[in-house]
Amino acid sequence: MNHLDQIAKIIQQANSVAILTGAGVSTASGIPDFRSSEGLWTEDHAREYYMSSQYFFKDPVDFWNKYKRIFRLKLLKNYQPNKVHQFFKRLEDAGKDVAIITQNVDGLHQLAGNSRVVEYHGTLNQASCPSCQASYSLDYVMENEIPYCQEPGCGDILKPDVVLFGDMITAHDEAEAILDHVDVLLVMGTSLFVTPFNLLPEYAAYRGIPAIMINGEPTGKDYLFNHVIHDDLSKVVRELSPLID
């Protein structure tokens, strides 16, 4: 039995699957991987500062100008789920309990139809008022160069619902709780560079959960996984799908 056959058998026999995803899952949809060696992130090392909660509260007007440009918000609705997103949906359609824990903020897992998605780093699709917590859609954000809260007596500048540098991660406990009850962990398209997201595979290893890593390049956490594939994600799911169906 070859490597791919073994992975297919593990997934096939699992009733519940937790899937950790990163930017590599969305690149086939045309969304840049900001942290890859060829991604937009390397163009400007100041992005971490400008995309911080500290900078938002220091200069929210300039923050929004940079935020919209960095995340290419005007293009967001042009992006569509790709074969990798669709693979996850097919697992759910096959009757598996699928929980996706994603670093991605593009909303493509929901658009693909997966019903249980934890947006670990928030979402580009909404913004909220830091004063009154009123929530606004991406359409409203895009209609206004600087989005202000419209609630009576408020008028504060909205803050995006993406987790900015310096913000608290609020989804980690939920993610660990999911891992407490799954048969297998599948990790795809992430370098596992960012903490505390990269602690989740360690938690799974501690729990003795079989784990599979599929990524375009090696990561510093590969040793935690029972099976590791370094290859193009779309190619892997194209070869893996018929073995599971």
Angle between helices 233-244 and 83-93 (to 10 degrees): 20
Per-residue CA distances from 181 to 143, 149, 154, 174 (Å): 42, 40, 43, 12
Catalytic residues: 121
Annotated binding site for Zn(2+): 129, 132, 149, 154
Could you give the 3-state DSSP secondary structure of residue 163?
coil
- Residue among 93, 120, 90 nearest 105 (CA): 120
Could you give the 3-state DSSP secondary structure of residue 206?
helix
Tally of CA atoms within 13 A in the half-sphere of 38 that contains its CB: 5
At 2, list the tokens.
Answer: 């070859």
